[in-house]
Amino acid sequence: MADGNSETKSSNQMWGGRFASGPDAIMEEINASIGFDKKLYGQDIRGSIAHATMLAHQGIISAEDKDKIVHGLNTILSEIESGQFEFSRRLEDIHMNIEARLATLIGPAAGRLHTARSRNDQVALDFRLWVKEELQRTEKALTGLIAAFLDRAEEHAETVMPGFTHLQTAQPVTFGHHCMAYVEMIGRDRSRVRHAIEHMDESPIGAAALAGTGFPIDRHMTASALGFAGPTRNSIDTVSDRDFALEFLSIAAIAATHLSRLAEEIVIWSTPQFGFIRLSDAFSTGSSIMPQKKNPDAAELVRAKTGRINGSLIALLTVMKGLPLAYSKDMQEDKEQVFDAAESLELAVAAMTGMVRDMAIRADRMKAAAGSGYSTATDLADWLVREAGLPFRDAHHVTGRAVALAEQKTCDLADLSLEDLQSIHPQITAKVFDVLTVEASVASRTSFGGTAPNEVRKQIAWWRARN
């Protein structure tokens, strides 16, 4: 109902019971980031120590004030780490929580810390440091997953399984070769991580609000104290840039997509119908009603985490897409997306590493499946090209007739008699049976990167030297 006085009514009437103390409370709730950016306390304190040390070195603050500041910041660090620190939402974010506590601890000297900087370069620094460290953790985790695949690939360099296209049996491959496909994928993820670390290796601190500062600061000094290759070169870009977060999320989304494909294969392979693997009890669950079931929950959740991670990437891209230079408060929404994606990816990689290491490979089932579905039909066609001199297209046609005959007799290609085969093409000899087994098929695929066990072993050695 229209009410000319509604603007002057108390918050309770306007917005209901959730906001007890009026518009200020709503502002505080939408504005505060302390609930999630407290994660950055370590980076914030390190950044402030480097900044204060540089300010003193440059004669911008006194050595005594610097000592008080550094001592106070270290006290705050231990207060936070021992759980004694009281975070206040009224103080908005981690930067102001720490600075306010510093003032209580050391008095007026605390007020000198914020000389020649702004929360804009401060948050850019803290967050960049955090993302860089997370990328370093990601690199290690991916290396662990690659190692797990290399071990399984080595163990199963000769284990034959059906290779699929369209999820239809295509040609026999080895399980080792299939594992090495994931090594390539995860290896690319890891090299993207390494590039991103290099890419973001520039220190934002000293860009100040957006224009730089008139104080005689030394940004090279703070950059090297904080482990960066150097300072960023444009102060406007520095406080408005979140590419490092977007890069992290893009890398995470691609890596999660790889893990999701693997998760899907694990789900398929562990069905009784496929029966290619048996998941360890550690990574599966039973059903509360169906005693026979063993569910691949961990794989399913890895597959689902991909949705969250991809969502985070889209969320931050959307936050950034219309922002004018330089800083806008919208950018505060960057952190939860990155934190959530990082946690999800860490968990997904750890779960996958465990599953890959633990799963039992049912080589007999793989081999039986590898031989069904006329998987060596291409080998027959290739033989006709090689031994009988047929053009490949004709060989393809002859092989198609052989497959039709085998289908009619409900047997495999290798079970057709020589007479059967010769009735289709007179030049076929008994030697053809050498290429119709799955072992012969994989052994023959010796092209670089092919599935022949020796080729796979070469690729394993190549990766071992680089992992």
Q: Which is nearer to ligand ARG, 222 or 332 (CB)?
A: 332
Over the window 273 to 312, marking each residue x when it contacts ligand ARG by CB under 6 A and - when it does not, the resulting string is ----------------------------------------
Binders in 150-169 for ligand ARG, by CB under 6 A: none
Query: Closest separation between CB of residue 30 and ligand ARG, Å?
Result: 12
Comparing C-alpha atoms, which of 129, 144, 156 is closest to residue 37?
A: 129
Report in angstroms how near the CB of residue 259 gets to ligand ARG at its nearest: 30
Q: Which residues, at least 6 apart from 60, have a Cβ–Cβ distance to it below 8 Å?
A: 115, 116, 215, 216, 217
Selected from 48, 53, 97, 120, the binder of ligand ARG by CB under 6 A is 120
- Which one, 100 or 385, has the nearer CB to ligand ARG? 100
Dihedral angle of Cα 136, 139, 145, 148, to the nearest 10 degrees: -90
| DSSP output for 60-73 | SS-HHHHHHHHHHH
Q: How far is the CB of 246 from ligand ARG (least distance, A)?
A: 15
Q: Collect all residues with Cβ–Cβ distance below 8 Å to 161 and sequence separation of at least 6.
A: 172, 173, 174, 175, 178, 276, 366, 367, 369, 370
Quote the least distance from Cβ 40 to ligand ARG, whole Å: 9
Neighbours of 5 (CB within 10 A): 6
174 in Cβ contact with 187 (< 8 Å) = no
DSSP string, 105-146: HHGGGGGGTTTT--HHHHHHHHHHHHHHHHHHHHHHHHHHHH
- The piece of 115-123, 214-222, 248-256, 400-408 that touches ligand ARG (CB under 6 A) is 115-123
Residue 312: active-site member: no
Q: How far is CA 454 from CA 162, 163, 182, in A?
A: 18, 18, 18
Smaller CB separation from ligand ARG, 95 or 177? 95
287, 328, 423, 447: which is the annotated catalytic residue? 287
Whether residue 328 lies in the annotated active site: no
Question: Least separation, in Å, of the C-beta of 120 and ligand ARG?
Answer: 5
**Distance, CA of 464 to CA of 467 (rounded, Å):** 5
Integer Cα distance of 53 and 65 in angstroms: 10
Compute the least distance from the CB of residue 92 to ligand ARG, in Å: 6
Measured CA to CA, the distance from residue 52 to residue 351 in angstroms comes to 42
**Would you say 357 and 150 are in contact if contact means Cβ atoms under 8 Å apart?**
no
Q: Judged by CB, which is closer to ligand ARG: 34, or 170?
A: 34
User: Which lies closer to ligand ARG via its Cβ, residue 38 or residue 308?
Assistant: 38
Does residue 33 touch ligand ARG according to CB under 6 A? Answer: yes
Nearer to ligand ARG by C-beta: 91 or 268?
Answer: 91
Integer CA distances (angstroms), 113 to 51, 91, 128, 404, in order: 8, 17, 20, 82
Question: DSSP letter at 428?
Answer: -
- What are the beta bridge partners of residue 285? 295
By beta-carbon proximity to ligand ARG, the closer residue of 310 and 337 is: 337
Segment interacting with ligand ARG (CB under 6 A) among 9-17, 58-66, 116-124, 367-375: 116-124
Piece in contact with ligand ARG (CB under 6 A), picked from 69-77, 118-126, 381-389, 452-460? 118-126
List the interface residues with ligand ARG, window 68-97 (CB under 6 A): 93
Could you say which of 101, 117, 119, 425 contacts ligand ARG (CB under 6 A)?
119
x-marked contacts with ligand ARG along 354-373 as a string, rule CB under 6 A:
--------------------
Residue with tokens 């759980």: 83
Identify the residue among 76, 80, 113, 123 touching ligand ARG (CB under 6 A): 123
Q: Which of residues 308-347 bind ligand ARG (CB under 6 A)?
A: 327, 329, 331-332
Beta carbon nearer to ligand ARG, 34 or 268:
34
Assess whether the previous peptide bond of 326 is cis (omega < 30° from 0): yes
Query: How far apart (Å, rounded) are the C-alpha atoms in residues 34 and 228?
Result: 26
Query: Between 36 and 75, how does the x/- string for binding to ligand ARG read (CB under 6 A)?
Result: -x--------------------------------------
Q: Show Cβ contacts of residue 270 under 8 Å, excluding neighbours closer than 6 positions.
A: 276, 277, 278, 279, 284, 294, 296, 299, 359
Catalytic residues: 166, 287
Q: Which positions touch ligand ARG (CB under 6 A)?
A: 33, 37, 93, 119-120, 123, 327, 329, 331-332
